[in-house]
Chain A
Protein backbone atom coordinates (compact mmCIF):
# COMPACT_ATOMS: atom_id res chain seq x y z
CA UNK A 1 0.00 0.00 0.00
CA UNK A 2 2.84 2.34 0.88
CA UNK A 3 4.42 1.56 -2.48
CA UNK A 4 1.21 2.56 -4.22
CA UNK A 5 1.13 5.83 -2.30
CA UNK A 6 4.78 6.44 -3.15
CA UNK A 7 4.25 5.85 -6.85
CA UNK A 8 1.00 7.84 -6.81
CA UNK A 9 2.64 10.69 -4.91
CA UNK A 10 5.53 10.78 -7.36
CA UNK A 11 3.15 10.74 -10.29
CA UNK A 12 1.11 13.55 -8.79
CA UNK A 13 4.24 15.63 -8.18
CA UNK A 14 5.39 14.96 -11.73
CA UNK A 15 2.02 16.00 -13.12
CA UNK A 16 2.15 19.11 -10.98
CA UNK A 17 5.71 20.11 -11.80
CA UNK A 18 6.11 18.93 -15.39
CA UNK A 19 4.21 21.77 -17.07
CA UNK A 20 5.75 24.35 -14.74
CA UNK A 21 9.45 23.41 -14.82
CA UNK A 22 10.15 24.79 -18.27
CA UNK A 23 8.23 27.92 -17.28
CA UNK A 24 10.23 28.44 -14.11
CA UNK A 25 13.67 27.29 -15.27
CA UNK A 26 14.08 28.71 -18.75
CA UNK A 27 13.61 25.82 -21.18
CA UNK A 28 14.94 23.07 -18.92
CA UNK A 29 12.40 20.33 -19.19
CA UNK A 30 13.31 17.04 -17.48
CA UNK A 31 10.85 14.29 -18.40
CA UNK A 32 9.65 13.29 -14.96
CA UNK A 33 7.09 10.78 -16.25
CA UNK A 34 9.69 8.78 -18.14
CA UNK A 35 12.17 9.12 -15.30
CA UNK A 36 9.62 7.94 -12.75
CA UNK A 37 8.67 4.85 -14.71
CA UNK A 38 12.35 4.11 -15.41
CA UNK A 39 13.43 4.45 -11.80
CA UNK A 40 10.55 2.42 -10.42
CA UNK A 41 11.25 -0.29 -13.00
CA UNK A 42 14.94 -0.43 -12.15
CA UNK A 43 14.31 -0.40 -8.43
CA UNK A 44 11.28 -2.66 -7.98
CA UNK A 45 11.82 -4.96 -11.01
CA UNK A 46 8.42 -6.61 -10.60
CA UNK A 47 5.69 -7.11 -13.15
CA UNK A 48 3.70 -4.24 -11.63
CA UNK A 49 6.24 -1.84 -13.14
CA UNK A 50 4.79 -2.48 -16.61
CA UNK A 51 1.38 -1.25 -15.49
CA UNK A 52 3.03 1.60 -13.64
CA UNK A 53 4.90 2.56 -16.81
CA UNK A 54 1.69 2.45 -18.84
CA UNK A 55 -0.08 4.66 -16.31
CA UNK A 56 2.85 7.10 -16.16
CA UNK A 57 2.72 7.24 -19.93
CA UNK A 58 -1.01 7.92 -19.92
CA UNK A 59 -0.55 10.81 -17.51
CA UNK A 60 2.28 12.07 -19.74
CA UNK A 61 -0.22 11.91 -22.60
CA UNK A 62 -2.33 14.45 -20.74
CA UNK A 63 0.48 16.97 -21.20
CA UNK A 64 1.32 16.11 -24.78
CA UNK A 65 -0.07 17.03 -28.16
CA UNK A 66 0.62 13.62 -29.66
CA UNK A 67 -2.17 11.06 -30.00
CA UNK A 68 -3.53 10.14 -26.60
CA UNK A 69 -2.07 6.82 -25.50
CA UNK A 70 1.13 7.04 -27.51
CA UNK A 71 3.33 7.77 -24.50
CA UNK A 72 1.54 5.07 -22.55
CA UNK A 73 2.09 2.49 -25.26
CA UNK A 74 5.76 3.34 -25.78
CA UNK A 75 6.55 3.39 -22.06
CA UNK A 76 4.73 0.10 -21.64
CA UNK A 77 6.65 -1.51 -24.50
CA UNK A 78 9.99 -0.17 -23.33
CA UNK A 79 9.31 -1.23 -19.76
CA UNK A 80 10.04 -4.82 -20.84
CA UNK A 81 13.67 -4.24 -21.90
CA UNK A 82 14.10 -1.84 -18.97
CA UNK A 83 12.94 -4.53 -16.60
CA UNK A 84 15.21 -7.01 -18.27
CA UNK A 85 18.10 -4.56 -17.73
CA UNK A 86 17.02 -4.11 -14.12
CA UNK A 87 17.05 -7.86 -13.56
CA UNK A 88 20.20 -8.67 -15.47
CA UNK A 89 22.42 -5.64 -15.50
CA UNK A 90 21.58 -2.84 -13.10
CA UNK A 91 23.54 -3.02 -9.86
CA UNK A 92 21.87 -0.14 -8.02
CA UNK A 93 24.68 2.25 -8.88
CA UNK A 94 23.72 5.89 -8.73
CA UNK A 95 26.57 6.63 -11.17
CA UNK A 96 25.36 4.30 -13.92
CA UNK A 97 21.79 5.54 -13.54
CA UNK A 98 22.17 8.93 -15.31
CA UNK A 99 23.84 7.30 -18.32
CA UNK A 100 21.27 4.54 -18.48
CA UNK A 101 18.41 6.99 -18.12
CA UNK A 102 19.90 9.23 -20.85
CA UNK A 103 20.17 6.35 -23.31
CA UNK A 104 16.75 5.01 -22.35
CA UNK A 105 15.14 8.39 -22.77
CA UNK A 106 16.70 8.85 -26.19
CA UNK A 107 15.38 5.43 -27.21
CA UNK A 108 11.92 6.20 -25.87
CA UNK A 109 11.78 9.51 -27.71
CA UNK A 110 13.02 8.00 -30.96
CA UNK A 111 10.36 5.30 -30.62
CA UNK A 112 7.76 7.94 -29.88
CA UNK A 113 8.80 9.88 -32.97
CA UNK A 114 8.84 6.76 -35.15
CA UNK A 115 5.38 5.69 -34.01
CA UNK A 116 3.93 9.17 -34.32
CA UNK A 117 5.53 9.50 -37.76
CA UNK A 118 4.08 6.16 -38.80
CA UNK A 119 0.65 7.35 -37.61
CA UNK A 120 1.16 10.54 -39.60
CA UNK A 121 1.00 12.53 -36.37
CA UNK A 122 4.32 14.37 -36.69
CA UNK A 123 6.89 15.58 -39.21
CA UNK A 124 10.34 14.42 -40.25
CA UNK A 125 13.19 14.17 -37.77
CA UNK A 126 15.83 16.88 -37.77
CA UNK A 127 19.23 17.47 -36.19
CA UNK A 128 18.01 20.60 -34.44
CA UNK A 129 15.19 18.58 -32.85
CA UNK A 130 17.74 16.04 -31.60
CA UNK A 131 19.97 18.84 -30.34
CA UNK A 132 17.08 20.48 -28.51
CA UNK A 133 15.95 17.14 -27.09
CA UNK A 134 19.44 16.34 -25.82
CA UNK A 135 20.20 19.74 -24.38
CA UNK A 136 16.91 20.71 -22.80
CA UNK A 137 15.28 17.38 -21.98
CA UNK A 138 17.70 14.45 -21.83
CA UNK A 139 20.52 16.22 -19.97
CA UNK A 140 18.20 17.69 -17.28
CA UNK A 141 16.58 14.26 -16.91
CA UNK A 142 20.04 12.69 -16.46
CA UNK A 143 20.85 15.28 -13.80
CA UNK A 144 17.62 14.51 -11.94
CA UNK A 145 18.00 10.73 -12.18
CA UNK A 146 20.45 10.04 -9.33
CA UNK A 147 18.89 12.40 -6.76
CA UNK A 148 15.41 11.00 -7.43
CA UNK A 149 16.69 7.44 -7.17
CA UNK A 150 18.37 8.19 -3.84
CA UNK A 151 15.22 9.91 -2.63
CA UNK A 152 13.22 6.82 -3.58
CA UNK A 153 15.62 4.64 -1.61
CA UNK A 154 15.33 6.91 1.43
CA UNK A 155 11.54 6.93 1.28
CA UNK A 156 11.46 3.14 0.92
CA UNK A 157 13.50 2.83 4.10
CA UNK A 158 11.34 5.32 5.93
CA UNK A 159 8.06 3.73 4.88
CA UNK A 160 9.44 0.16 5.02
CA UNK A 161 8.72 -0.73 1.42
CA UNK A 162 10.52 -3.95 0.61
CA UNK A 163 9.63 -4.50 -3.04
CA UNK A 164 13.26 -4.29 -4.13
CA UNK A 165 14.18 -7.21 -1.84
CA UNK A 166 12.17 -9.68 -3.90
CA UNK A 167 14.02 -12.46 -5.68
CA UNK A 168 13.43 -13.02 -9.39
Chain B
Protein backbone atom coordinates (compact mmCIF):
# COMPACT_ATOMS: atom_id res chain seq x y z
CA UNK B 1 0.00 0.00 0.00
CA UNK B 2 2.75 2.40 1.05
CA UNK B 3 4.79 1.42 -1.97
CA UNK B 4 1.78 2.06 -4.18
CA UNK B 5 1.32 5.52 -2.70
CA UNK B 6 5.02 6.23 -3.04
CA UNK B 7 5.13 4.97 -6.62
CA UNK B 8 2.11 6.97 -7.77
CA UNK B 9 2.46 9.94 -5.41
CA UNK B 10 2.60 12.48 -8.22
CA UNK B 11 -0.46 11.17 -10.02
CA UNK B 12 -2.36 10.86 -6.74
CA UNK B 13 -1.40 14.43 -5.75
CA UNK B 14 -2.45 15.83 -9.09
CA UNK B 15 -5.70 13.88 -8.99
CA UNK B 16 -6.45 15.11 -5.48
CA UNK B 17 -5.68 18.66 -6.57
CA UNK B 18 -7.99 18.35 -9.55
CA UNK B 19 -10.74 16.92 -7.37
CA UNK B 20 -10.26 19.78 -4.91
CA UNK B 21 -10.47 22.34 -7.72
CA UNK B 22 -13.57 20.61 -9.06
CA UNK B 23 -15.27 20.62 -5.68
CA UNK B 24 -14.37 24.23 -5.00
CA UNK B 25 -15.71 25.36 -8.37
CA UNK B 26 -18.87 23.26 -8.14
CA UNK B 27 -19.45 24.66 -4.65
CA UNK B 28 -19.51 28.17 -6.06
CA UNK B 29 -22.01 27.45 -8.81
CA UNK B 30 -24.97 28.02 -6.51
CA UNK B 31 -23.70 30.65 -4.11
CA UNK B 32 -21.35 32.58 -6.39
CA UNK B 33 -17.71 33.42 -5.79
CA UNK B 34 -16.63 32.55 -2.29
CA UNK B 35 -14.56 34.57 0.11
CA UNK B 36 -12.27 32.20 1.98
CA UNK B 37 -9.36 32.23 4.38
CA UNK B 38 -6.84 31.92 1.55
CA UNK B 39 -7.98 35.11 -0.14
CA UNK B 40 -8.12 36.90 3.21
CA UNK B 41 -4.61 35.76 4.14
CA UNK B 42 -3.04 36.72 0.82
CA UNK B 43 -4.77 40.10 0.77
CA UNK B 44 -3.78 40.83 4.36
CA UNK B 45 -0.17 39.85 3.76
CA UNK B 46 0.16 41.91 0.63
CA UNK B 47 -1.78 45.01 1.70
CA UNK B 48 0.98 46.78 3.72
CA UNK B 49 3.40 46.38 0.83
CA UNK B 50 0.86 47.60 -1.70
CA UNK B 51 0.08 50.61 0.44
CA UNK B 52 3.79 51.26 0.97
CA UNK B 53 4.54 50.85 -2.73
CA UNK B 54 1.74 53.18 -3.62
CA UNK B 55 3.08 55.75 -1.17
CA UNK B 56 6.60 55.45 -2.59
CA UNK B 57 5.39 55.80 -6.19
CA UNK B 58 3.12 58.72 -5.41
CA UNK B 59 5.83 60.44 -3.39
CA UNK B 60 8.31 59.95 -6.23
CA UNK B 61 5.87 61.38 -8.75
CA UNK B 62 5.21 64.33 -6.47
CA UNK B 63 8.93 64.89 -5.88
CA UNK B 64 9.56 64.82 -9.63
CA UNK B 65 6.67 67.04 -10.66
CA UNK B 66 6.83 69.48 -7.74
CA UNK B 67 10.55 69.85 -7.06
CA UNK B 68 12.55 68.70 -10.08
CA UNK B 69 10.61 69.04 -13.32
CA UNK B 70 9.85 72.77 -12.98
CA UNK B 71 10.73 73.87 -16.49
CA UNK B 72 7.38 75.57 -17.18
CA UNK B 73 6.68 76.66 -13.64
CA UNK B 74 7.69 80.32 -14.06
CA UNK B 75 5.51 80.71 -17.16
CA UNK B 76 2.66 78.88 -15.49
CA UNK B 77 3.07 81.06 -12.43
CA UNK B 78 2.80 84.25 -14.49
CA UNK B 79 -0.23 82.96 -16.36
CA UNK B 80 -1.88 81.82 -13.14
CA UNK B 81 -1.25 85.18 -11.47
CA UNK B 82 -2.97 86.93 -14.37
CA UNK B 83 -5.79 84.42 -14.19
CA UNK B 84 -6.04 84.98 -10.44
CA UNK B 85 -6.37 88.75 -10.90
CA UNK B 86 -9.05 88.22 -13.53
CA UNK B 87 -10.91 85.76 -11.33
CA UNK B 88 -10.70 88.05 -8.31
CA UNK B 89 -12.35 90.77 -10.39
CA UNK B 90 -15.00 88.33 -11.49
CA UNK B 91 -15.54 87.15 -7.95
CA UNK B 92 -16.02 90.71 -6.73
CA UNK B 93 -18.54 91.32 -9.50
CA UNK B 94 -20.35 88.10 -8.61
CA UNK B 95 -20.48 89.03 -4.94
CA UNK B 96 -21.91 92.39 -5.93
CA UNK B 97 -24.57 90.68 -8.02
CA UNK B 98 -25.34 88.28 -5.18
CA UNK B 99 -25.79 91.08 -2.67
CA UNK B 100 -27.89 93.11 -5.10
CA UNK B 101 -30.00 90.02 -5.66
CA UNK B 102 -30.57 89.64 -1.90
CA UNK B 103 -31.54 93.30 -1.54
CA UNK B 104 -33.93 93.08 -4.49
CA UNK B 105 -35.48 89.93 -3.08
CA UNK B 106 -35.99 91.67 0.24
CA UNK B 107 -37.61 94.63 -1.49
CA UNK B 108 -39.83 92.38 -3.56
CA UNK B 109 -40.93 90.57 -0.45
CA UNK B 110 -41.62 93.89 1.22
CA UNK B 111 -43.57 94.97 -1.86
CA UNK B 112 -45.73 91.86 -1.62
CA UNK B 113 -46.30 91.99 2.12
CA UNK B 114 -46.90 95.72 2.49
CA UNK B 115 -50.26 96.76 1.01
CA UNK B 116 -49.22 100.35 0.29
CA UNK B 117 -48.86 101.53 -3.28
CA UNK B 118 -45.20 102.26 -3.67
CA UNK B 119 -42.44 102.70 -6.17
CA UNK B 120 -38.88 101.50 -5.81
CA UNK B 121 -35.97 103.82 -6.43
CA UNK B 122 -32.23 103.54 -6.40
CA UNK B 123 -30.02 105.75 -4.30
CA UNK B 124 -27.74 107.51 -6.73
CA UNK B 125 -26.19 110.00 -4.38
CA UNK B 126 -26.04 111.25 -0.83
CA UNK B 127 -25.08 114.45 0.90
CA UNK B 128 -23.99 114.50 4.48
CA UNK B 129 -22.52 117.69 5.82
CA UNK B 130 -22.64 119.57 9.08
CA UNK B 131 -26.32 120.33 8.70
CA UNK B 132 -27.89 118.13 6.13
CA UNK B 133 -28.35 114.42 5.70
CA UNK B 134 -29.87 113.83 2.28
CA UNK B 135 -30.17 111.08 -0.29
CA UNK B 136 -30.72 111.47 -4.02
CA UNK B 137 -33.02 108.99 -5.74
CA UNK B 138 -33.23 108.17 -9.44
CA UNK B 139 -37.01 108.65 -9.60
CA UNK B 140 -38.97 111.90 -9.70
CA UNK B 141 -42.35 113.31 -10.66
CA UNK B 142 -42.36 111.20 -13.83
CA UNK B 143 -42.67 108.19 -11.55
CA UNK B 144 -45.42 109.80 -9.46
CA UNK B 145 -43.25 111.04 -6.62
CA UNK B 146 -44.10 114.32 -4.94
CA UNK B 147 -42.81 116.38 -2.07
CA UNK B 148 -43.29 114.95 1.45
CA UNK B 149 -43.87 111.39 0.28
CA UNK B 150 -42.57 108.82 2.75
CA UNK B 151 -39.43 106.89 1.92
CA UNK B 152 -39.11 103.51 3.55
CA UNK B 153 -37.34 100.16 3.37
CA UNK B 154 -38.45 96.73 4.61
CA UNK B 155 -36.65 97.54 7.88
CA UNK B 156 -38.37 100.86 8.55
CA UNK B 157 -38.56 104.57 7.88
CA UNK B 158 -35.81 106.32 5.92
CA UNK B 159 -37.10 109.87 5.52
CA UNK B 160 -39.36 112.01 3.37
CA UNK B 161 -39.08 113.55 -0.05
CA UNK B 162 -37.71 117.03 0.37
CA UNK B 163 -37.65 118.16 -3.23
CA UNK B 164 -38.38 116.52 -6.53
CA UNK B 165 -37.58 117.02 -10.20
CA UNK B 166 -39.01 115.03 -13.12
CA UNK B 167 -36.30 112.39 -12.91
CA UNK B 168 -34.78 112.75 -9.46
CA UNK B 169 -35.82 113.39 -5.93
CA UNK B 170 -34.06 114.39 -2.75
CA UNK B 171 -34.80 112.58 0.50
CA UNK B 172 -34.46 114.22 3.86
CA UNK B 173 -33.30 111.46 6.20
CA UNK B 174 -34.93 111.07 9.58
CA UNK B 175 -31.58 111.95 11.14
CA UNK B 176 -31.39 115.29 9.34
CA UNK B 177 -31.27 118.13 11.82
CA UNK B 178 -34.38 119.68 10.27
CA UNK B 179 -36.43 116.53 10.44
CA UNK B 180 -39.32 116.46 12.97
CA UNK B 181 -42.24 114.07 13.03
CA UNK B 182 -44.61 112.57 15.56
CA UNK B 183 -44.06 109.02 16.77
CA UNK B 184 -45.50 106.45 19.09
CA UNK B 185 -43.84 104.26 21.69
CA UNK B 186 -45.03 100.83 20.75
CA UNK B 187 -45.17 99.43 24.30
CA UNK B 188 -46.78 102.35 26.14
CA UNK B 189 -48.53 104.04 23.17
CA UNK B 190 -47.10 107.39 24.29
CA UNK B 191 -46.79 110.04 21.60
CA UNK B 192 -43.67 112.10 21.19
CA UNK B 193 -41.82 114.17 18.62
CA UNK B 194 -38.69 112.65 17.12
CA UNK B 195 -36.07 114.80 15.49
CA UNK B 196 -32.63 114.56 14.05
CA UNK B 197 -29.79 116.46 15.60
CA UNK B 198 -26.65 117.97 14.24
CA UNK B 199 -24.40 115.07 15.07
CA UNK B 200 -26.62 112.78 12.99
CA UNK B 201 -28.44 110.93 15.74
CA UNK B 202 -32.16 110.50 16.24
CA UNK B 203 -33.55 111.91 19.45
CA UNK B 204 -36.66 112.64 21.40
CA UNK B 205 -35.55 115.89 22.94
CA UNK B 206 -38.48 116.53 25.21
CA UNK B 207 -39.91 113.33 26.56
CA UNK B 208 -42.02 113.89 29.70
CA UNK B 209 -39.96 113.06 32.78
CA UNK B 210 -42.63 111.03 34.54
CA UNK B 211 -43.53 108.85 31.59
CA UNK B 212 -42.31 105.28 31.50
CA UNK B 213 -39.65 104.41 28.93
CA UNK B 214 -37.01 101.67 28.89
CA UNK B 215 -33.95 100.86 26.88
CA UNK B 216 -34.93 98.72 23.91
CA UNK B 217 -38.44 100.12 23.60
CA UNK B 218 -39.57 100.25 20.00
CA UNK B 219 -40.61 103.51 18.44
CA UNK B 220 -42.98 103.55 15.46
CA UNK B 221 -44.58 106.23 13.33
CA UNK B 222 -47.86 107.59 14.65
CA UNK B 223 -49.34 108.57 11.28
CA UNK B 224 -50.48 111.87 12.75
CA UNK B 225 -48.41 114.28 10.67
CA UNK B 226 -49.86 113.03 7.43
CA UNK B 227 -46.48 112.07 6.03
CA UNK B 228 -45.59 108.60 7.26
CA UNK B 229 -48.20 105.89 7.43
CA UNK B 230 -48.87 104.60 10.90
CA UNK B 231 -46.91 101.75 12.53
CA UNK B 232 -43.73 101.87 10.44
CA UNK B 233 -40.67 100.95 12.54
CA UNK B 234 -38.52 103.92 13.32
CA UNK B 235 -35.99 102.78 15.85
CA UNK B 236 -35.34 101.53 19.35
CA UNK B 237 -34.45 103.40 22.50
CA UNK B 238 -30.72 103.15 22.98
CA UNK B 239 -30.03 105.84 25.57
CA UNK B 240 -32.05 107.65 28.23
CA UNK B 241 -30.65 110.87 29.63
CA UNK B 242 -32.54 111.82 32.77
CA UNK B 243 -31.20 114.71 34.80
CA UNK B 244 -31.91 115.36 38.47
CA UNK B 245 -34.03 118.31 37.60
CA UNK B 246 -36.23 119.57 34.76
CA UNK B 247 -39.53 118.56 33.20
CA UNK B 248 -38.20 116.34 30.40
CA UNK B 249 -35.74 113.56 29.66
CA UNK B 250 -33.74 113.14 26.47
CA UNK B 251 -34.07 109.89 24.60
CA UNK B 252 -31.65 108.74 21.92
CA UNK B 253 -32.87 106.23 19.34
CA UNK B 254 -31.04 103.85 17.09
CA UNK B 255 -32.73 103.98 13.67
CA UNK B 256 -34.34 100.77 12.50
CA UNK B 257 -32.71 101.27 9.12
CA UNK B 258 -28.98 101.45 8.68
CA UNK B 259 -28.97 104.77 6.88
CA UNK B 260 -25.34 104.45 5.83
CA UNK B 261 -25.93 101.33 3.75
CA UNK B 262 -28.93 102.27 1.67
CA UNK B 263 -28.92 101.38 -2.00
CA UNK B 264 -32.58 100.87 -2.84
CA UNK B 265 -35.63 102.36 -1.15
CA UNK B 266 -39.39 102.41 -1.61
CA UNK B 267 -41.38 105.63 -1.93
CA UNK B 268 -44.95 105.26 -0.70
CA UNK B 269 -47.36 106.76 -3.23
CA UNK B 270 -50.56 105.81 -1.47
CA UNK B 271 -51.13 104.09 1.82
CA UNK B 272 -54.01 101.66 1.44
CA UNK B 273 -54.39 100.27 4.92
CA UNK B 274 -54.12 103.55 6.78
CA UNK B 275 -56.76 106.16 7.42
CA UNK B 276 -54.02 108.72 8.04
CA UNK B 277 -52.90 109.26 4.47
CA UNK B 278 -49.56 110.92 3.90
CA UNK B 279 -49.69 114.59 3.30
CA UNK B 280 -50.60 115.62 -0.25
CA UNK B 281 -51.10 112.06 -1.32
CA UNK B 282 -54.07 111.43 -3.49
CA UNK B 283 -55.64 108.09 -4.24
CA UNK B 284 -54.48 106.89 -7.64
CA UNK B 285 -57.00 106.61 -10.45
CA UNK B 286 -58.37 103.07 -10.71
Residues in chain A within 8 A of chain B (CB atoms): 12, 15-17, 19-20, 23-24, 47, 50-51, 54, 58-59, 61-62, 65-70, 72-73, 76, 119-121
Contacts and interface: CB of A to CB of B under 8 A. Distances in A.
B29 A119 contact: yes
A20 B50 contact: yes
Given A47-B10, A69-B24, 15 more contacts: A12-B46, A12-B49, A15-B45, A16-B46, A20-B57, A51-B13, A51-B17, A54-B17, A61-B39, A67-B33, A68-B28, A68-B33, A68-B36, A73-B25, A76-B14
Interface in B218-262: none
A67 B28 CA distance: 7
The 3 closest A-B pairs by CB, nearest first: A73-B21, A69-B24, A62-B42
Contacts of B22: 73
A16 B53 contact: yes
Nearest to A60: B42
Interface in B35-68: 36, 38-39, 42-43, 45-46, 49-50, 53-54, 57
B162 to A, nearest CB: 74
B18 interface: yes
Contact of A65 (B10, B17, B25, B33): B33
Contacts of A66: 33
Contacts of A59: 42
A81 to B, nearest CB: 14
Contacts of A17: 53
A58 B25 contact: no
Nearest to B46: A15
A24 B54 CA distance: 8
24 contacts: A12-B46, A15-B46, A16-B49, A16-B50, A17-B53, A24-B57, A50-B14, A54-B17, A58-B38, A59-B42, A62-B38, A62-B42, A62-B43, A67-B24, A68-B24, A68-B33, A68-B34, A68-B36, A68-B39, A69-B24, A73-B25, A119-B29, A120-B29, A121-B33
A121 B26 CA distance: 12
Contacts of A47: 10
Nearest to A48: B10
Contacts of B10: 47
A58 B25 CA distance: 12
